Amino acid sequence: MIKNRIHVECEWLLFLSATEEISEVRKLKESEQARIRKIYLDLTVEDAEKVKEIEKTTNHDVKAIEYYVKDRLKEDPELVELTEWIHFACTSEDINNTAYAIMLSQARSDVLMGVMSKLTNEIDLMANSNASIAMLSRTHGQVASPTTLGKELRNSSERLKRQSVQFEKLEILGKFNGAVRNFNAHQSAYPNLDWPRLSAKFLNRLGLTINKYTTQIEPHDYIAEMFDCLKRFNQILLDFDRDIWTYVSLDYFKQKKVEGETGSSTMPHKINPIDFENSEGNLGIANALLQHMSSKLTVSRLQRDLSDSTVLRNVGSALSHCLLAYKSTLKGLTRLEVNQGKIQQDLNRSWEVLAEPVQTVMRKYGLSEPYERLKKATRGEQLDEELYQKVLKELQLPSEALAELQDLRPESYLGLAIELTKNNDQV
């Protein structure tokens, strides 16, 4: 945050220098501009500590930034004349909101989006490679109509992609308009300048979009939008983590053994799905923070209070927990191996799931009470192939329909699951 605040102060000075109507700030040579940018580009831990030392006296974090930048300019004989143009017409929130906006922009583009894309792509690859692997669905935890492993993985990747696209497109806003947004100080010095236009131009240079209507603070609505979107992404991923965990517990996935690893201090056989559990835990912490921030940051008394400042200091923590979760899920996925034998075994002993197509075909041919008859024969029962064939023969189906249903197997009763996985544009 210190670096981003210095970034804003330095770039504002450079912008004033480049604004022709402000002749009192001379035009700076490229070498001078570069030296000013080095103040934030080359910032070290020791430099940051100097800022904190100044803050011990000012008891004001942004004023400490201002004094630090001025001190650095005073070290340069060619730039010393510019010292009092640092923080020109600014309120602290001009610097802070812009610094946070830069930080959020960088966090999104340089950190989060890459991992989010990698995560969705990895799930997509798994969906493609398992598009044709039939398996039982489970609704209410009970066996249900068959699907494919690939189709269920595709469900998750498409949900995650939708949120990541929204997250990437959200505008990041800024305000640079003085104490209560009215450009009061700006107008007192340069009443003939179009300050709203200049403010927008400055923020655009920083990769931000101006929020035209603010109080002293940028109202943080866009941050709430970003965090709400992240929360949805995280909830979908948490849902995915739990599903994969369940499939591991059902033995549909095996986990690769890693030499030297221990699953339990007393049970030597165990390989625990800890990566998905770690992801779930971090997602919970992240969303607790994101939820509070998205609801709190949009509320500030009158033209401002300071409660947003306390909350904003936790942005890094929330995003860090997001990142830890995404990386944990990715790590967990690399250790999974599909156990087709177990998946097929469950299909082989669950022929009762074919009661659905049987009663549906009976409706087609006008047979009486198809649902009720299949319910009586199958509800709460586990059918193997022999029992399934016995039920069929008792239904008085037309010979053509009977032959088709006799050939049907749980692993072939898939509807369009394979096609929907391979062609995810199909509806």
**CA neighbours closer than 13 Å in the CB half-sphere of residue 258:** 12
User: Could you give the CA distance from residue 105 to residue 209 in angstroms, rounded to a whole number?
Assistant: 11
172: three-class secondary structure by DSSP: coil
User: Could you give the CA distance from residue 94 to residue 216 in angstroms, rounded to a whole number?
Assistant: 8
| Catalytic residue, candidates 23, 31, 140, 368 | 140
| Catalytic residue, candidates 109, 129, 249, 264 | 264
60 is catalytic: no
92 is catalytic: no
Residues 407, 410, 411: CA angle, nearest 5 degrees: 95
Residues 6+ apart with CB under 8 A from 353: 136, 143, 144, 145, 146, 410, 413
- What is the phi/psi pair of residue 147, to 5°? -135, -165
User: Could you give the CA distance from residue 227 to residue 221 in angstroms, rounded to a whole number?
Assistant: 10
Nearest to 101 by CA among 32, 155, 176, 159: 176
Print burial letters for 87-96: b (CB count within 10 Å at least 16), e (below 16).
Answer: bbbbbbbbbb
Pairing type for strands 253-255 and 134-139 reads: unpaired
- What is the phi/psi pair of residue 173, to 5°? -100, 160
User: Could you give the CA distance from residue 424 to residue 404 in angstroms, rounded to a whole number?
Assistant: 29
Instruction: Check if the beta carbon of residue 181 is closer than 8 Å to that of residue 215.
Output: yes
Query: So which residues are the catalytic ones?
Result: 140, 264
